A = this chain, B = another copy of it.
């Protein structure tokens, strides 16, 4: 381990030094080191010895130049706050390391000149995973024209780039139907900004679809801004203010909003789920910790990231075929906030925090 003492400050050896030391040509070093063509066993041994003695590692820049590839990909995301993006990126990282390559990251939230940043990034990797609404369609189109392999994540397909998503409509139908059929609710409300993200729009559509199937009139399209706990608090307060006609259940576009709604209920002396049911989306670690356990929908975040990266590699390796888009299933997680029995609220391992 930790290759040996080639003196302090000594410049990194290059392929020529290795060749000299092993008394072969650089071509042979390259062959040995890449494990490619046939090399006589004895020669290979000598070369390997020289590599080890010198602590030689091929220069990525030189190799990138010669091979015309970077052995690296990048993921573009809005922000690292919250568990969603971090988990997805972790999935990308898993798949990337598994392939023996490197992962670059770029956050776009509140950053000027994002287009330029993305173009620069595109030129130092072999492909890009682009999450959510972080990059303009026009930029994606331009990248596609430049033949930059692209995979989209949690966002509709654009510029013929394949996309990886998790199910929204189906679980939304399932969740809403659960509230209607199992718990007998008739006045539901949807909390979330339908126009801000396709994911949310699809959840809303599933919500409406469930009403249609139950022959119930869906509530009017919600107007609300934001995804934050405070937003959920405000919207829920307003909803609860409608007196006797207040909704019996709040279907929130994410767990943050749902937690805010729970707080709003508490602040008005309403009990969840006895006085009002609340559901979330994402299954953040809080969801199972805060009483009552939040009924929500779990997206396979890490798998989403890994799948996107693998799709990207496929796209890189076979420039020809466009791999199809992928839809990963989401899982309904029934806890107590919808009104179901508590049943000891699952396990409590959260994998948060550190030493």
Contact = CB atoms under 8 A, between A and B. Distances in A.
Contacts of A136: 1-2
Given A2-B138, A228-B351, A102 B102 contact: no
A64 B60 CA distance: 9
Interface string A131-146: 0100010110110011
Contacts of A260: 348
A253 to B, nearest CB: 7
B289 A123 contact: no
Contacts of A256: 350, 352-353
B86 A81 contact: yes
Query: Which of A74, A119, A139, A256 gathers most chain B CB within 10 Å?
Result: A256
A193 interface: yes
A313 interface: no
A81 B86 CA distance: 7
A200 interface: yes
B65 A352 contact: no
A296 to B, nearest CB: 11
Interface in A150-164: none
Nearest to A256: B353
Interface in A223-281: 227-230, 233, 253-257, 259-260, 263
Contacts of A228: 349-353
Contact of A123 (B57, B78, B355): B57
Contacts of A255: 352-353
Interface stretch (A22-30, A33-41, A89-97, A211-219): A89-97
A105 B79 contact: no
Nearest to A257: B353
Interface residues of A, number: 90
Contacts of A5: 145
Contacts of A343: none
B138 A355 contact: no
Interface string A282-295: 10111001100000
Contacts of A145: 5-6, 8
Given A1-B115, A228-B353, A354-B227, A93 B78 contact: no
28 contacts: A1-B136, A1-B138, A2-B138, A2-B139, A6-B145, A8-B147, A57-B123, A59-B65, A60-B123, A61-B65, A72-B104, A79-B351, A80-B89, A82-B352, A82-B354, A83-B353, A93-B107, A103-B105, A132-B354, A200-B355, A227-B354, A229-B348, A233-B348, A254-B353, A260-B348, A282-B353, A286-B286, A286-B290
Interface of A: 1-3, 5-6, 8-9, 12, 55, 57, 59-62, 64-65, 70, 72, 74, 78-87, 89-90, 93, 97, 102-107, 111, 115, 117, 119-121, 123-124, 132, 136, 138-139, 141-142, 145-147, 192-193, 196-197, 199-200, 227-230, 233, 253-257, 259-260, 263, 282, 284-286, 289-290, 347-355
